[in-house]
Amino acid sequence: MGKTYAILNATILDGTVEMKAMANHGVIVGSEGRIEEVGPSERLRVEKDMNVIDLGGRVLMPGLTNMHVHLCGNGRPTSAKAAGDLIDKVVSNPVGMAYLRHRIKKSAINQLMSGVTTLRSVGDPGFADVDVRDAINAGKYLGPRMLTSGTGVTVPGGHGAGLFARIAETPADARQIVQACHDRRCDLIKLFITGGVFDAEVEGEPGVVRMSLDIARAACEEAHRLGMHTAAHIESTDGVLLGLKAGVDTIEHGAHLTSEAIKLFKKNGLGNSSSLTCTISPAIPFAKLSPEKTHSTAVQKVNGDIVYKGIVEAASQALKTGIPVGLGTDSSCPYVTHYDMWREVAYFQKHVGTSNEFALHTATLAGAQLLGIGEETGSIEPGKSADMIVLEGDPLKDISALRNVSEVFMRGTRIERPRVRHIAALDRELDALMELLEG
């Protein structure tokens, strides 16, 4: 990993729930890429042979935790059919799989360059995300910390079928798919319990329940037996209830929470309770942009607005009732790139109505804790991996300061002037949309 080094004259935001800006502070990073000391710069034990990095007052904070990512796309709008046709061609031959792994690698690195040091992939074809995770962990190239689900579990006609999920027609099928994911060393199991905006058939009815309780429960039971967490795509109140009754650990997206659902959240899951992953980023473009731009239909636009409102309401209810909440972008959806986690944090702060401090905590330590790696990463504390980012501005004053990441530290390795691969046309549309929503 190299010599021990000292980061001095930083304004540290440590990622904890009550974080305050700590000016003129610093960090000692050991040769194994772990944080050894945090404190006022003048009190740190800086030895003569240490490399010294003077941040000149810039903000140093934990890297972001993106809890909901698909790595196989790039955010350029396309129809579900076109995406499915492309994936069919890619996964059916070795050359296609090599291309898919290369694309997923590029997506993961772009996440890192934008400040995401931990991500959870929740559905990619052919277990290519698992291969990329293994290559990163083996040191073949530098990438973010990845938790991977590989191929998910869906049902005939269900969300993700033909894209990044295998079809279970019976509970036994579901158990077999879970076992196959475990054998492939996936970190978690992804279920697609309801439909989504793209496959909703009726205006006003997004998130129709597609998976039976028996199949969902079988998948959760098998996953828990194997020590694996589960995450479920759910975009309706009925789906939330079914998922919680099945034992799902994290509800992805969400909808209005009934009193029964709130009770189930608090006694559910492989850990102490189930959690909710808030994903506003993919819903807003569907709801606010024209169908021509998102490659959708008028029906999907109406349903997108319903899903957007349901996600925001669910996150608000969860916070008020003590249900843990994490953040994810749903990268690869139309208008959701691999470098815009900062937008999700900004949407969460504005639309759910949190403080900047709490939004930053949710995007760092809280997410790491929900992923079961809060002792390893997510905050700037002695003993943890040096997964950190440097910002030019202060996100406590303006959350959009997260957009300008000038340095990244990943497992202690310093990346100066990280290069993010932008899609200029999407940036223009999203910036204009944010200005409209602000107004």
Interval 377-433: pLDDT, tens? 999 999 999 999 999 999 999 999 999 999 999 999 999 999 999 999 999 999 999
Confidence at residue 439, expressed as pLDDT on a 0 to 100 scale: 67
- CB burial of residue 140 (10 Å; 0-12, 13-18, 19+): exposed
**Check: CATH 3.20.20.140 for 64-370?**
yes
Question: Under a CB-based contact definition with an 8 Å cutoff, are residues 38 and 380 in contact?
Answer: yes
Per-domain residue ranges for the chain? 5-63+380-416, 64-370
| Helix/strand/coil for 36 | strand
Confidence at residue 270, expressed as pLDDT on a 0 to 100 scale: 47
The set of long-range contacts for 88-91, using a CB threshold of 8 Å and a minimum separation of 24, is 88/162, 90/125, 90/126, 91/125, 91/126
| CATH of the domain spanning 5-63+380-416, picked from 2.60.40.1120, 3.30.365.10, 3.40.50.10190, 2.30.40.10 | 2.30.40.10
> Of 224 and 300, which is predicted with more confidence?
224
Instruction: Give the whole-angstrom CA distance, residue 55 versus residue 35.
Output: 17
Instruction: Give the whole-angstrom CA distance, residue 342 versus residue 294.
Output: 21
The percentage of the chain sitting over the pLDDT mark of 70, rounded to a whole number, equals 96
Mean of pLDDT over the chain: 93
Confidence at residue 91, expressed as pLDDT on a 0 to 100 scale: 72
**Given a cut of 50, is residue 261 above it in pLDDT?**
yes
CA neighbor of 395 nearest in space, from 431, 341, 437: 341
CA neighbor of 211 nearest in space, from 149, 264, 158: 158
Question: Under a CB-based contact definition with an 8 Å cutoff, are residues 198 and 78 in contact?
Answer: no
| Helix/strand/coil for 342 | helix
CA neighbor of 406 nearest in space, from 420, 417, 421: 417
Q: How confident is the model at residue 2 (pLDDT cuts 50, 70, 90)?
A: low
> Of 146 and 288, which is predicted with more confidence?
146
**Given a cut of 80, is residue 78 above it in pLDDT?**
no
Interval 287-342: pLDDT, tens? 888 888 888 788 888 888 999 999 999 999 999 999 999 999 999 999 999 999 99
Interval 85-141: pLDDT, tens? 666 667 778 888 899 999 999 999 999 999 999 999 999 999 999 999 999 999 999
